[in-house]
A and B are shown apart, each in its own frame.
Chain A
Amino acid sequence: MEKQPHYYIYGINGPVIKVRGGRELPRMSLVYVGRQKLFGEVVSSSGEESVVQIYEDSTGLSAGEEVEPTYRPMSIELGPGLIGSILDGIGRPLSRIEEMAGPFIARGMNLDSLDPEKKWDAEVLIEEGEVLRPGQIFAKCTESGMIEHRSMVPPQLSGRAVDVRPSGAFTVGEPIAYVEDERGRRTPLTLAQRWSVRTPRPFASRRSIDRPLVTGQRVIDTLFPVAKGGCAAIPGPFGAGKTVVQHQLAKWSDADIIVYLGCGERGNEMTQVLDEFRELKDPRSGRPLMERTILVANTSNMPVAAREASIYTGMTMAEYYRDMGYHVALMADSTSRWAEALREISGRLEEMPAEESFPAYLPSRLAGFYERAGFVDTLGGDEGSVTVIGAVSPQGGDFSEPVTQNTQRFVRCFWALDRSLAYARHFPSINWNNSYSEYLTELMPWYAENFGADFEEIRGRIMSLLNEESSLMEIVKLIGADILPDDQKLIIETAKVIREGFLQQNAFHETDTYMRPAEQMAMLRTILRLYDSARALVADNVPLRMLQETGIFAELERMKFGLGAGTTAEEYMRKVDGAVEHVRKLNS
């Protein structure tokens, strides 16, 4: 037998370890470093020296300690029990780490993401001798009150089912059946399977995009929608409300499953998500939101290499549930922290830096990540999607920096958050002048069917009112609003109702936090009805002031609260007509 090579630590620079002692280690394979067996990944190898990045703090390691290669890529265990759990960047369950180590994270805890002891009541769906295809669902169990877990034959595996056990309680590691290929080799089928996080999971084919992710957030649903299977970016300076937008989408969007990825962000934010999502109820099923949520938390003070890996961990889990036929939304907060982790490691590897000292491969890594989103036909013959919503934290709020710029190339929906709106406490601070969604054209048929045939027209009119207002405001800034003629004043008044009444949405208000599409449309129709009637009045030389004095504009600004409190949209229409009627009478 060949003598096993003895790998050992040669050099240490922060999380970057130089390893020598044998033939070069395969790139991207996993190693255990030192006596504490710290998790690491080979990032480059040349000749006799390999470079490893470790996912933990390297304090206390010394040269000469042993390095144990595994020759397999970094992978995570996928199976029932992920939903409702909180994992770190490399898929270790933080709750079990707490049980073992207390409130501070200890090193060298090599745990798998799933609880190996827990029994799941699985219903076995295959029969002895059945020919199994990759991706076929062979067993299902109830994972949470909202999610049925469908265990699939791993991709690339097919053959005849043998030794099929009857339905019953299984742990994630117990074989339920074996797959036997033509040569008689047997592979066990278990509730859980492993997948290498950096490899996209395969699917049958991509589908074209045809429906939006409905979020209940007015500015997103009506002005800048994101498609199921699409990608959106939320760039904004600190304090502009990126995290609140992400939380809102995680709470209210109509995805089946949310993977919420806290990548290099605040610890308290993850605690908040954990606390809130246990309390809050899903508007469709009435179950706690945590029953459809997976949290990946690699806060800013946790090891930087694990931060780099965390977005792949999150994405792999999202794809896994997509393959079961679910619509998954992945919230990544924030991709800039991930890019910075990339930069930090690249610097330690002494690679040649490109723009702002980010590595030259930043765009290709970003592309690789966003391209894993999509609406697909799964191997199992179902449909599923992964929608990616990535927050971007540009330095100094400057959108020309490399992460924002490169992200913009790979996403088709861009919600630009604006510091000046945030200062005026206009939330969500999505700036309607420089945000966009390229999905609109593809989604139009769906909107016509579900929001109303007039959606396109209404949206167009709202956008043009907002545009006209912003050019009028240039004049107002110089000479004041009093001098404008009534028809221009009306545009300003109406745009104000749209901005303050419609676009502003209070995430912390009991009812305003989520609005159903039908109500969103009703609001817009009411606002436009007021605008049209008022324009007719102005055309008849009725002073606009008289209509303003009826208080109808202020009334519509609060329509969102009224709808939440039970007033119907028809009543508001009648109020508009009543006010206009009243003014006409006074004038005749």
Chain B
Amino acid sequence: MRIEYTGLSEIRGSLIALDGVRDAKYDELVEITLAGGRRRRGRVILIDGERVVVEVFEGTDGIDMANTSTRLSGKPMEIPLSEEILGRIFDGTGRPADGMSEIFADETRDINGAAINPVSREYPRSCILTGISSIDATCTLIRGQKLPIFSGAGMKHNELAAQIVRQARVASDAEGEKFVIVFCAMGIKNDTADYFRRDFTESGALGRTVMYLNLASDPIIERILAPRCALTAAEYLAFTLGYHVLVVMTDMTFYCEALREFSSSKGEIPSRKGFPSYMYSDLASLYERAGLIRGRPGSVTLVPILTMPGDDISHPIPDLTGYITEGQIVLSRELSQKGIYPPVGILPSLSRLMKDGTGKGFTRADHPDLSNQLFASYSEVSSARSLATVIGEDELSEGDKLSLKFGSEFESRFISQGMYENRELEQTLDLGWELLSILPRSALSRVSDKVLDEHYKGAE
């Protein structure tokens, strides 16, 4: 029987402190009963002798020092899990938020998870086709990868994420693979959450989707817990039930800001831009939960979305994310202004795992060569463009003019596509070669003659 403590000795921000506690465990769950009988939950975050500091998930508004009683549960924060979670909506702490009853749990799990032993990991190699040319050809998503979308305010990252969810399938697999979605919202507006819910409903994906929602108006502590609940559910679905899980988390920027707010309320020493110094480790503890485990059927693929404050890729949030994730899809303000959807900035986007999951035996033999050459040729477009603004297009050399032509066709025909347009990989790759054929053959130095003979269609 656990003891119940009455009264608090301090309230600060979302933290409460208790004195005279003898048996508290670090990180355990605490139940707090308010004067009116309302209940809240919290977690032990500091033990100092007989003083215990607890973070209250729902915030400390309305808590008074004298008439609050707390009870230690003796267990860390856990969520109930079973196959029934599919199709359900939960709040940031894993309680039902769709008006239905609690699920019947097969097991409960600590939301902090445990690190996957690097020896037990399987290196991800099977490629996920999204039907989006700019991703499939040059920034291929691999099953078990963590590939974030770096966006900015006002760009169509939600639409892109929804399209990925709608169209994603694995190239090499037989029909009937078990594929589910875990959606985690952190601090986003109700409209955005609603957009995803509607989109999942329309595409018929809602029945195989689990949602953990922490909206903009919900408490920030729950925002820190929400992705942990979602990833615990994802790990359970993948490694216990054998599903292939695609986790969409949005918006990591709000998550990091919640972390900062919470850290400063604890009085921690801030690091760059006021974010806590452990933000790298904290983000890693989320992102690294993606992957494959040798000998287990399922997989966790992670697509976090973050909006770069001021479109600044060197801001700590995208910066630390980029150091942990296996590449990034960067949306470009310039393309977005030109009205191009999806506005994927080809040059800064990168998929670190694509080299081992594309090409012969995975997709099509010429895929890596094509992707390399597209990068190289497209990177020359920008220097031709800046030269054209200085000396005028007419004065450009023949090579630079062709480069400009390639650039605009590449953007309008290859990058740009409809929100419901699902391009086959064959189609994407052939289109890539068709566009490269605008350029003279001698300009394609990244590709061997043999491959050029097969695919180059331009005049010699």
Contacts and interface: CB of A to CB of B under 8 A. Distances in A.
Contact of A268 (B121, B355, B396): B121
What's the interface size class on A, roughly? 35 or more
A239 B355 CA distance: 14
Contacts of B50: 63
Interface stretch (A6-14, A123-131, A186-194, A210-218): A6-14
B284 A13 contact: no
Contacts of A356: 271-272
Interface string B94-124: 0000000000000000101111111111111
B376 interface: yes
A337 interface: yes
What's the interface size class on B, roughly? 35 or more
Contacts of A508: 355, 368
A396 B277 contact: no
Nearest to B293: A103
B198 interface: no
Contacts of B356: 272
B27 A59 contact: yes
B123 A275 contact: yes
Interface in A401-427: 423-425
B322 A238 contact: yes
Given A301-B285, A353-B269, A357-B269, A268 B291 contact: yes
B77 to A, nearest CB: 10
A62 B291 contact: no
A280 to B, nearest CB: 14
A64 B26 contact: no
Nearest to A95: B119
A2 B27 CA distance: 37
Interface stretch (A339-347, A368-376, A447-455, A513-521): A339-347
B326 A266 contact: yes
B280 A337 contact: yes
B88 interface: no
Interface string B316-339: 100110111011100000000000
A347 B264 CA distance: 13
Given A60-B76, A425-B375, A480-B400, A104 B115 contact: yes
A267 interface: yes
Interface in A345-386: 347, 350, 353, 356-357
B49 A271 contact: no
Contacts of A299: 115, 118, 284, 288
A87 B112 CA distance: 23
A301 B284 contact: yes
Given A12-B47, A239-B350, A353-B269, A300 B120 contact: no
B442 A554 contact: yes
B125 to A, nearest CB: 10
Contacts of A271: 118-119, 121-123
Contact of B46 (A12, A62, A344, A554): A12
B9 interface: no
A27 interface: no
A300 B284 contact: yes
A311 B216 CA distance: 41
A561 interface: yes
A480 B395 contact: yes
B353 interface: yes
Contacts of B117: 94, 97-98, 101, 103-105
25 contacts: A10-B48, A13-B46, A59-B110, A62-B47, A63-B50, A98-B119, A98-B120, A103-B120, A104-B113, A104-B120, A239-B322, A239-B352, A267-B118, A268-B121, A268-B353, A271-B119, A272-B356, A301-B115, A304-B278, A343-B277, A357-B271, A395-B316, A423-B347, A479-B391, A557-B445
Interface of B: 22-28, 46-50, 76, 110, 112-124, 144, 239, 268-272, 276-278, 280-281, 284-285, 288-289, 291, 293-294, 296, 313-316, 319-320, 322-324, 326-328, 347-348, 350, 352-353, 355-356, 368, 372, 375-376, 379, 383, 386-387, 390-391, 395-397, 400, 442, 445-446, 448
